[in-house]
Structure formats: C-alpha cells, structure tokens
Amino acid sequence: MKHVVSRKWLLARLYESDLVIVDCRFVMGQPDAGRAAYEESHIPGAVYLDLERDLSAPVEEDGQGGRHPLPDAAELAGRLSRVGIGNDSRVVAYDDQGGAMASRLWWLLRYLGHENVFVLDEGFSAWKKGGYPVNADQKVLIPSTFLATVQHSMLVEMEEVQESLGGEERVLVDSREAPRYRGEVEPLDKKAGHIPGARNKFWKGVLQEDGSFKSPEALAEHFADLPRDKELVVYCGSGVTATPNVLALSEAGFEKVKLYAGSWSDWISYAANPIATRDE
C-alpha cells in the first residue's frame, strides 16, 4: 500500500534517524484522554500531536470553518518543526481510533507539501497486543525546520460546494454513519441531514473486521459505484473522519479527490444552505 505501513515495517525502522513517529490518539468529547494515554505508554520515540490543540485551529463563534477548522499553515509548520519534523523526515502517524486521527495528520502533511508520510495499520492497541515494544519515555525534542508548500488544490471551499450543487462535475461523498447521513440522529451538530446530492460512504467501511485497512483491490471494489472521471469531494462532520476515506480512495487508485475541510458543521453554519434527509 502507498500510504499505510505494517507493524513489522515500522519495527524494522524504529530507530532510523530520519523517522518521526507521531501519536495522534484522541477521543472526541474527552480532550485530555489522548495525551493521558500517550503519557502512560506509547511506541518508543513517538511524539504527541493533539487533534484540537495542534491539528486544528480554534473554533469560530459563528461555527464557520466547522468544529475542527484547518490550522494556519505557518503555525502548523512551526508545531511540526518543534517536534522534530523537517522536510526530509519520514513520518508515521498512529492512533487508536481506526486511523481517523492519524489520517488527519497524513492529510495535513500532504496539504503542506510533504509526501513522505504514512499511517500505521491497526493502531496502538494492536501494536501493544502484538508484543511490540512500548514505553513511557518522553523523547528529547530536537527541533527541525519544516517549510510548507501549501497544496490548495487538495481542498474545496464551501462556496465551491454550493456552486456545484445539482451539477455533474463533482460528486460529494459523505463519510458519516448512515443514520447521521439520513438525518435520523445527530449527536454532535445543530442540524441533521446531509448536503443535497451527496453519496454515503461511512469511513469505517474502508477497514476490515480486525481494524486493518482493506487491500487496494478491496477498496476499489468498495468504491466501485463512484466515478473515476469526476472530482470527488469528501466530507464528514468536521473534516477529520473524512480523511481515512481520502486516503483509501487514493489507495484504490482514484486521482481526483479533494477534502471539504469544514464539512457538515461548516455547511450548516450558513442558514441559507440546503439540507437533504433521504438516501440518494
């Protein structure tokens, strides 16, 4: 796979000097749980980056930008530099949330022009359960220099989504669970439903029962009903769990894939935006 590495792959490279391992564990609604888990035990040498403090900007009062707005590129580049990530680093991200948080960092690094980034398959619990090494040692951080080259083409803004409604040049992909997509429940946002015309592909559908990513061939089959000749715009509730779908679409060979980073929580912050509540 292009973007996902195995436990054996990481173990073999654990102490190579250009490798930076990033613990991205985070529990929605429990903002301190991820760091606490990291401090208790982590993959040796790993540094910690927090979804809300490091990998998101502060939430705007009007909700525009969504619940996890994209961080400022220069500020994020500074944070990456401080934990030792430079332009020559190989980065492996992991979490314990099926790859959702690790995929956020994977996407952000690629958005800043850094291609040499991977997600650890199955995450921390599988690593530990498999008998691979863990410890609680805090790595001495040696700052590096990360210079961002922002890839604006990876992103779609809300106005572009508005303009494409009812058109045929883009296909919207909603990454949330089906009941949320259909508007039957909404545990996190103020309005229920989905962006009109969006197709539902729950992000956990890219995983096998054991929590590992499906093979590229299986992912191609999973996404077989999506067109390869049109631009796919992937979103979720806040732009986080859309990123495993973006990663998986790339693994499946789709080339025209973009992220609507503000996602549903941004969309509903504009009162005039239409909402749909049925299967499409």
Write the DSSP string, 126-178. HHHHTT---B-PPPPP----------GGGB--HHHHHHHTT-SSEEEEE-S-H
Rounded to whole angstroms, the Cα distance separating 192 from 153 reads 29
Q: Which of 76, 91, 236, 242 is catalytic?
A: 236
Taking residue 7's Cβ as centre, other Cβ atoms within 10 Å add up to 19
Question: Alpha helix (H) ranges present in the chain?
Answer: 7-12, 33-40, 73-82, 100-111, 123-129, 158-164, 178-181, 216-222, 242-251, 263-267
Chain center to CA of 241:
6
24 is catalytic: no
HSE-CB of 12 using CA atoms within 13 angstroms = 5
Q: Name, in order, each residue with C-beta under 8 angstroms of 127's C-beta and a sequence gap of 6 or more.
A: 7, 43, 94, 120, 134
Q: Encoding tokens for residue 168?
A: 């045929």
Catalytic residues: 236
